[in-house]
Amino acid sequence: MDDDEHAGRLHGELERLIAGTLALMTTWYQSPQPAICRKLIDNLTLIGRHEAVSEGMRRICANSAARWAMYLEQVELAIESGADIDGEAATGAEVGDTGLDFAADTMPAGVTLH
C-alpha cells in the first residue's frame, strides 16, 4: 500500500468513527442509555488514539471521554434510584424530568474552531 492509499484509508476510518460518534450523541440526547454512553466513550477513545489526529484532538477526545464517563455514572445512579431516564412520567414526575444534571459544557480553553 502506498502513502496515498494509506492516508485515504486512515481518513475514511477516522471519518466513519467521527460520524458514528455524532450519531450516538444524537441518540443519547433522545434516550440517555448506559450502552450508548459506553459506546461514545469507546469511540472517543478510538478517535483520540487514531494515528491521524493531532495532539490537541487527542486531548479533546480524552477530556470528552472523561466527561461522558461522568455522565455514565450519573445515568447508572439514576437508574439504580428508579429514575425514568427516557423522559416518560412513570412515577408522577414531569415528562422530560430525568433527574440528571447535565449542564452545557463550555469549549475548552485554547480551542479554536475553523
Nearest to 36 by CA among 45, 27, 47, 44: 27
| Higher local confidence (pLDDT), 69 or 84 | 69
Structural domain for 43, as ranges? 3-80
Question: What pLDDT does residue 70 have?
Answer: 95
pLDDT digits (tens, 9 = 90+) for 79-110: 999 887 765 433 433 334 444 554 444 444 44
- CA distance linking residue 16 with residue 41, whole number of Å: 15
Q: Is 108 inside any structural domain?
A: no
Residue 12 belongs to a domain:
yes
The cell numbers describing 88, all together, are 416518560
Whether residue 92 is contained in a domain is answered as: no
Q: Into how many domains does the chain fold?
A: 1
Is 98 inside any structural domain?
no
